[in-house]
Amino acid sequence: MPSFLCATCGTQYPESDVPPASCPICEDERQWVPVAGQRWTTLTDLRRTHKNLVHRIEPGLYGIGTVPEFAIGQRALLVRTPAGNVLWDCIALLDDATADVIRAFGGLAAIAISHPHYYTTMVEWGRAFDAPVLVHADDREWVMRPDPVIEHWSGETRALLPGLTLIRCGGHFAGGAVLHWAGGAHGRGALLSGDIIQVVPDRTHVSFMWSYPNLVPLAPAEVRRVAGAVAPYAFDRIYGAWWDRHVERDAAAVVRRSAERYLRALGEPRA
Ligand SMILES: [Zn+2]
Ligand SMILES: [Zn+2]
């Protein structure tokens, strides 16, 4: 029996003879359903039509993205540390070539995902590499394919491996998380942020939204919460969810400035 994938968001559902009646991830106001109705595919079909690119971004950091673009179009990040490798965020396509490359790197110690839009085929990845998939417990209701490989973490931070810390920011999703990599940016620190902290096209600022496709902003308290959650950490770079969305330097100040700009736009007297 196939496990169907939603073609709009990439979420995989439990095995079934026929596609699910709907995709709750897309029906939620933070995603969208195509005008012509929901479309479905399978991992087997996706492997025939798509492939992954693996790209070295900086020492110890690789991006893994699908061509042609599929669903939301994010790319995953692979962080290599002396204590093991972590896959940050997930993409729907896992094929033999990608698995071979990751195994040649030494496999995965863990997989951690920022929020439900990138859960995709996380169960396939977790099983393939015998690695726990960490998702925040506050987003438990959005797990469409429950499996023992998924580990729900709770609270505000979680040490993943030496130098790798999950930080719950909230905002876009209650359990929205980012990954702090102390050894990133040549030891100056990097934040892997998914779209919990969204790098904007000119890369001089970041932004924060409750719903990106429907252009619904976050409330002031949530903007302060996201910026406050990462404030204790040292980081010079931010890697967002797409290949070209990164802040190259001075990223901690960029987050502060961006939160202030956002709050001014909302008419808040001060950040
Ligand atoms: Zn969907
Ligand atoms: Zn999202």
Residue with tokens 């102390």: 182
pLDDT for the residue numbered 271: 64
Q: How many Å lie between the centroid of ligand 1 and the Cα of residue 117?
A: 8
262-266, Cβ contacts within 8 angstroms, sequence gap of 24 or more: 262/207, 262/208, 262/217, 262/218, 262/223, 263/220, 263/223, 263/224, 266/217, 266/220, 266/223
pLDDT for the residue numbered 89: 98
pLDDT for the residue numbered 119: 98
* pLDDT values of the chain reduced to their tens digit, one per residue, 271 residues: 999 999 999 999 999 999 999 999 999 999 999 999 999 999 999 999 999 999 999 999 999 999 999 999 999 999 999 999 999 999 999 999 999 999 999 999 999 999 999 999 999 999 999 999 999 999 999 999 999 999 999 999 999 999 999 999 999 999 999 999 999 999 999 999 999 999 999 999 999 999 999 999 999 999 999 999 999 999 999 999 999 999 999 999 999 999 999 999 999 987 6
Q: How many Å lie between the centroid of ligand 1 and the Cα of residue 261?
A: 32
Q: How many Å lie between the centroid of ligand 2 and the Cα of residue 20?
A: 21
Contact 216, 268 (CB under 8 A): no
Q: How many Å lie between the centroid of ligand 2 and the Cα of residue 117?
A: 5
Q: How many Å lie between the centroid of ligand 2 and the Cα of residue 226?
A: 15
Q: How many Å lie between the centroid of ligand 2 and the Cα of residue 9?
A: 10
Q: Beta partners for 53? A: 65
Strand ranges of the sheet holding 12-15, from the earlier edge strand across to the other edge: 12-15, 3-6, 40-42
CA distances from 244 to 63, 91, 240, 248 (A): 11, 17, 8, 11
Strand ranges of the sheet holding 133-136, from the earlier edge strand across to the other edge: 51-58, 61-67, 76-81, 84-88, 110-112, 133-136, 150-153
Q: How many Å lie between the centroid of ligand 2 and the Cα of residue 71?
A: 12
Q: Which ligand is nearest to the CA of 71?
A: 1
pLDDT for the residue numbered 269: 81
Q: How many Å lie between the centroid of ligand 1 and the Cα of residue 262?
A: 29
User: Which residues neighbour 265 within 8 Å (Cβ) at sequence distance 6 or greater?
Assistant: none
User: Which residues neighbour 228 within 8 Å (Cβ) at sequence distance 6 or greater?
Assistant: none
Q: How many Å lie between the centroid of ligand 1 and the Cα of residue 3?
A: 14
Q: Beta partners for 166? A: 158, 179
Contact 5, 40 (CB under 8 A): yes
Q: How many Å lie between the centroid of ligand 2 and the Cα of residue 109?
A: 25
The overall pTM is greater than 0.85: yes
